[in-house]
Amino acid sequence: MDKFFCKKVHLKKFLNLPFLVLSLFLFVLFFGDSLELALKAQVYAISLLLKEVIVFILPLIIFSFVLNGILSLKNESIKVILCLVPLVCLSNFAGFWVSYIFTAPVLKTGIVTISELSTQNTLEPAWRFSIPPIVRNDVALILGALAGILCNVIKISSLDRISIALNKTANFLLKRIICPILPLFVLGFIVKMQYEGTLALIISEYAVLLGIVAILAYGYMFVVMFMLSGRNVKRAMTKFKNLLPSVLIGLFSMSSAAAIPTTIEGSKKNLENANLAQFIVPATANMHLLGDCFAIPIIGLALMVSFGYGIPDAGKYLIFTLYGVMAKFASAGIPGGSALIFVPIFEHVFGFSPEMLTAITAIYVLFDPIATSSNVFGHGMFALLFEKVYTKLNTQHAK
């Protein structure tokens, strides 16, 4: 009996989400060329369909989790929201400046040069099936927050029962529908990247710059998580492991929205107040994009060096940062969307030419897997940061 149980446990570990995703990635990387184009197009089409399903379900999950999370906060809900926005701004601001302080000296050495992008093949899906969302994610977020605050004010027991029922439905959709289809969902995007040669291009042309982005973004966030874990490496690694499935979803799907459900599940394990994760993660998913705070300015600074502009001084970069922090509240949920929002900022603050503006958008799309996965890591890290800060503020206020 014990032997059977051990085998079952080992099988469960063997089939966990990170292992499945990495296995699919390695399979496509080594055997992708042997797959027929028609099969690749079919697999990509299925992934796009599953993405439509996830995006369609997501507003309900966001609404119910935000509603339930705010209801659990009771009279603290207004204070949580008032604490949330300034902390998001400070976190994004810190990300911009860490990227500048560590990258500027490296780029001045001339170690990174940006060349023209080579033409890529494009994998088109065999078919498309669109499912229009009933409501946008940001609208669902606002409605959930308003409904939660209203329910805390009115205090009607029937509203609490409705919230509990919605939360159970959302958890069922998350655990029984979304999580089981995630490996298949990711597979199509891995096939697309392999066919279009994106991975090979990044390795051959932009490996150094990509490495700078990845090391700084992940390194900074892990240091913050290490500090928040009581300077205990083992605890920090455990918290990162809990977030790893969502980070991998972001890496291969290039969609931080699709990773929200798994980010919530990972954050629940990391936080003392699991209900807080259900509110913080969806509430900050669009405005706290910490990975972009590294990828976008680093690519922009590298382009400035390559085009002979030089590294901007701290004063001019401060202006860019202030614009950038505000721009985070207007992110677009499309590949390269964050870079598009920053195009007018680069043009206005640094005087980017049309060629440079085109290049930064194109290069960012190539870097999107790393940027998105670090954005997802940032969501989980921020949930932990918010809980620590908010708890400390409450403790000081109580004194």
Residue 217 exposed, middle or buried by CB count within 10 Å (0-12, 13-18, 19+): buried
Taking the C-alpha atoms of residue 232 and residue 331, their distance in angstroms, rounded to an integer, is: 34
324: left (phi over 0), alpha (psi -120 to 50) or beta: alpha
Q: Which residue has the tokens 């170690």?
A: 111
pLDDT on residue 72: 67
In the predicted model, what is the mean pLDDT of residues 74-98? Answer: 84
Domains of the chain and any CATH numbers: 16-40+78-126+183-398 (1.10.3860.10)
Residues 6 or more apart whose CB falls under 8 angstroms from that of 115 comprise: 205
Name the maximum alpha-carbon separation found in the chain.
Answer: 70
Please give the Cα distance from 99 to 301 (Å, whole number).
10
Q: Which of 33, 148, 94 is nearest to 324 (CA)?
A: 94
Q: Does position 310 have pLDDT exceeding 60, yes or no?
A: yes
Task: Quote the CA–CA distance of 31 and 2 in Å, as a whole number.
Answer: 38
CB of 66 within 8 A of CB of 279? yes
Mean pLDDT value across residues 150-175: 76
- Which H helix or E strand runs over 153? helix 137-154
SS3 25: helix
Torsions phi, psi of 130, nearest 5? -100, 135
Res 3: pLDDT: 46
Give the pLDDT confidence score for residue 230 in this predicted structure. Answer: 87
Tell me which of 193 and 331 has the higher pLDDT.
Answer: 193
For the residues 199-216, what does the mean pLDDT come to?
Answer: 75
Q: Six-digit token pair at 271?
A: 């936080």
Confidence at residue 13, expressed as pLDDT on a 0 to 100 scale: 41
Neighbouring CB atoms inside 10 A of 106's CB total: 18
pLDDT beyond 80 at 209:
yes
Q: Which amino acid is at 393?
A: L
Q: What is the mean pLDDT of the chain?
A: 80
pLDDT of residue 77: 66
Tell me: pLDDT of 143 over 90: no
pTM of the model: 0.71
CB of 69 within 8 A of CB of 212? no
Contacts for 132-139: CB closer than 8 Å, 24+ residues apart = 133/55, 133/56, 133/58, 133/59, 134/56, 134/59, 135/59, 136/59, 137/58, 137/59, 137/62, 137/257, 137/282, 137/285, 137/286, 137/333, 138/286, 139/59
Spatial contact of 28 and 192, defined as CB atoms under 8 Å apart? no
Confidence of residue 17 (pLDDT cuts 50, 70, 90): low
Q: How far apart are CA 136 and CA 322, in angstroms?
A: 27
Q: Which of 183, 184, 208, 260 is nearest to 17 (CA)?
A: 183
Q: Up-side HSE of residue 114: CA atoms within 13 Å toward CB? A: 24
**Which amino acid is present at 284?**
T
Chain centroid, CA 366 distance in Å: 16
291 contacts 370 by C-beta, under 8 angstroms: yes
